[in-house]
Amino acid sequence: MKGKFKLSAVVQILVTAFLAFLYFWVELPPIHPRSPQFWIFLVLIMVIGLGVHFAAMMWEAFRAGRNMTLDLGGGLAALSSLGKPVKFVLGFIAFVIVLMVAANVIGAPIFNASRYRDLITVTESDFTQDVAEIQMSQIPVVDRDTASRLGKRKLGEMSDMVSQFEIEEDYTQINYQGVPYRVTPLTYGDPIKWLYNRSEGLPAYITVNMVTQETELVRLEEGMKYSRGELFFRNIYRHLRFHYPTKIFDEVSFEIDDEGTPYWVASTVGYRIGLWSGKDINGAVLVNAITGACTYYDVADIPSWVDQVYASDLIVEHMNDYGKYQSGFWNSIIGQRGVLRTTEGYNYLAIGDDVWLYTGMTSVLSDESNTGFILSNLRTKETRYYVVPGAEEFSAMDSAQGQVQHLNYVATFPLLLNVSGRPTYFMSLKDQAGLVKMYAFVDVEQYQIVGTGETVDAARADYAMKLSGEEGVAEGQEMAEISGVVEAAFEAVVDGNSVYYLMLEGDDAVYTAKSQYQNSCHSASRETG
C-alpha cells in the first residue's frame, strides 16, 4: 500500500503539472511577482492540485466499494480527509485577495496623484518651429481604413496567394526611408492552410505609401516563420514568453527596418507606483520575424528605425492623468480648476525619422474647443504641448462635412499640419462606400475657415483663398515681382469674378490672380496664410 500511495502521489503531481502547463500554454502569464496574472496562475495551480488529489481519493473510494457508482460514504470520507489541504488553499487564496486589494489601495491615485501626474514629462513648445511645413505632395492621405481596402485589393491581384493567405489588420504606421507608410504582415487563411504552408512560412508583407497610396506586396526570399498565425512554439506570443518568462509584455506590433527586414516589436512593462500601478514601458524585445532571433533593449537604447514602442492608448492614459492631477487628487473631483483631458481620438504625424502621436487637450467640461494639443514621440515618449486654443477635432470634422453636406461625405479624423505657420487640420472626405472623394483643410483657431477640393493642391488653394478673405491685405503692403515655373493652376468664381490660384515650383506659397471685367486688368497677390 505504501508503494501504491507513492505512485499515486507521483501521478497526481504529473496530472497537476500537465493541466497547469496547458493553462500556461494558452494564457502565457509572466512569472513575475509584480504581475497580477502571476498570482492568479499560482492560485489556479493550487486549486487544480487540490481537485486532482480529491478526484484520486474519490477514485480509491470507488475502487474500494467495488461498485459501478461512487460510494457516497467513501466520497464524504475522502472530502473530510482534505481538511488541511483545503485550509491551505483557501488560506492562500485569501492571501492573494488581500495582496491584490492592498496593492490596488497603495497604488490608488488618491495617495499618488503627483506620481500619476509625473508618469509623463510634458514641455511647452512652439508649433511652427517644431513642425516644419511639408510640401503638398508629401501629405499622408491614407488612414487605416483606406490602407485596409488597398491591401485587400493588392492581395486579390495575387492569384498564387489569395487562396492561402489573408492580411492582418494591424497596418502599423511607420517612417520608412523618410516616407510615412503603413505595414502589415500576411497570415494563414486557416489551420489547414497553415499546415500546408508552415514549412515555408509567410511569404510576404504589405506596404502602403500614405502619400501616394501606392500599395506593394513585398515578397521575401525566406518566409516569416514567427507570427500570430502560428499554432505552436513559433507563435510570436509563445516564442516571446518561453524566451523571456519573467518579462511583462505590452503590445506586440509589426514593423520593418530600413532594409525592409520584418520584425516584431514587443514592448516590456515596468510599474512605477506601488506593486502594479503606474504602468510604463521600460524596454522592448525585437524579434526577427524570419529567424526568430530575439534582442532586448532598454527603452533608451532602442534603435531609431523602430517607430512604435509606446502604445497610443498608454500615452493618452498618461496625458489624461497629467491633465487631471495638476492640482492634486481632490481638485480633480471638486472644483476641477485647470483640469484637462485628451479629446476623443488621435492621429499620427511624421517628424524626422519618428512617428509622433497627436491629440488635442480640452477641458473636462467638454465645451467643443481645445486649449491646445500635444505631440508625443511613440519611440522615446518625448511629449510637447502647444498652447493653441481652437476647435476640437470633431468640431473641425463637422465643419468640413458642412462644406459638402449635399454630397453626404464623411470626414476622417484630422491630421495636424503646419500650413504657412498656422496649425491646420487636414482630412479626407469619403463617400458612403469608403472611397476618398475630396480633401479639406480647416484652420485650428478659426474652424469656420475651410478649404475643400478634389485634390490636395486644390483644397490647399481654396484654403489659402479663404484665409486671404478672412485676414485681408495689410495696409501699406509692398509689391514684389516674382517669376517662376507654374506647377499647378486652379480656377474658381468668387463674387462673380474668376480667381486663379497658382503654385510655382519650389515655392510653398499660393498666388491668387483676380480677373475683373472692370478696367480690363489683372491683379495678383501672394497668399502665405
DSSP 255-274: EE-TT--EEEEEEEEEEEET
- Is 221 in the same domain as 325? no
Structural domain total, the chain:
4
Backbone φ, ψ for residue 208 (5° rounding): -125, 115
CA distance linking residue 213 with residue 207, whole number of Å: 10
DSSP run (H or E) holding 349: strand 347-351
Helix axes 109-117, 312-324, angle to 10 degrees: 110
- Contacts of residue 248, defined as CB under 8 A and 6 or more positions apart, other chains included, come to 30, 32, 34, 35, 268, 269, 270
- Domain-embedded: residue 120: yes
Domain end residue (candidates: 338, 356, 388): 388
- Is 432 in the same domain as 516? yes
Residue among 457, 424, 423, 466 at smallest CA distance from 441: 424
The angle at the Cα of 98, spanning 96 to 102, to the nearest 5 degrees, equals 115
- Is 183 in the same domain as 162? yes
- Is 27 in the same domain as 156? no
Domain of residue 438 covers 393-471+483-527
Domain end residue (candidates: 371, 388, 405): 388
- Is 152 in the same domain as 15? no
Point out the residues of the chain with pLDDT beneath 70.
1-7, 61-82, 136-137, 366-367, 469-481, 488-501, 506-529
Residue among 19, 102, 126 at smallest CA distance from 385: 126
- Domain-embedded: residue 478: no
- Residue 202 Cα distances to 13, 176, 189, angstroms: 40, 21, 11
The angle at the Cα of 452, spanning 527 to 366, to the nearest 5 degrees, equals 100
- Is 189 in the same domain as 101? no
- Is 292 in the same domain as 374? no
- Is 272 in the same domain as 187? yes
- Residue 17 Cα distances to 12, 60, 111, angstroms: 8, 21, 41
- Domain-embedded: residue 175: yes
The predicted structure's pLDDT at residue 258: 92
- Is 271 in the same domain as 362? no
| 3-class secondary structure, 362 | strand
Identity of the amino acid at 69: T
- Domain-embedded: residue 281: yes
On whether the pTM is more than 0.85, the answer is no
Residue spans of beta strands (DSSP E) within 378-529: 383-386, 390-391, 410-411, 415-419, 422-430, 436-443, 450-453, 486-494, 497-504, 510-516, 521-527
The predicted structure's pLDDT at residue 133: 74
The predicted structure's pLDDT at residue 527: 42
- Domain-embedded: residue 277: yes
Q: Which residues pair with 491 in a beta bridge?
A: 500
Domain end residue (candidates: 355, 388, 421): 388
**Residue 509, number of CB atoms within 10 A of its CB:** 15
What sign has the CA pseudo-torsion 435, 205, 200, 27?
Answer: negative
CA distance linking residue 485 with residue 491, whole number of Å: 17
- Domain-embedded: residue 135: no
- Is 192 in the same domain as 271? yes
DSSP run (H or E) holding 286: strand 277-288
- Is 157 in the same domain as 302? yes
- Domain-embedded: residue 477: no
| 3-class secondary structure, 65 | helix
- Is 407 in the same domain as 380? no
- Domain-embedded: residue 92: yes
| 3-class secondary structure, 410 | strand
- Contacts of residue 290, defined as CB under 8 A and 6 or more positions apart, other chains included, come to 201, 220, 222, 223, 224, 225, 226, 261, 262
pLDDT tens, position by position, 187-246: 999 999 999 999 999 999 999 999 888 999 999 999 999 999 999 999 999 999 999 999
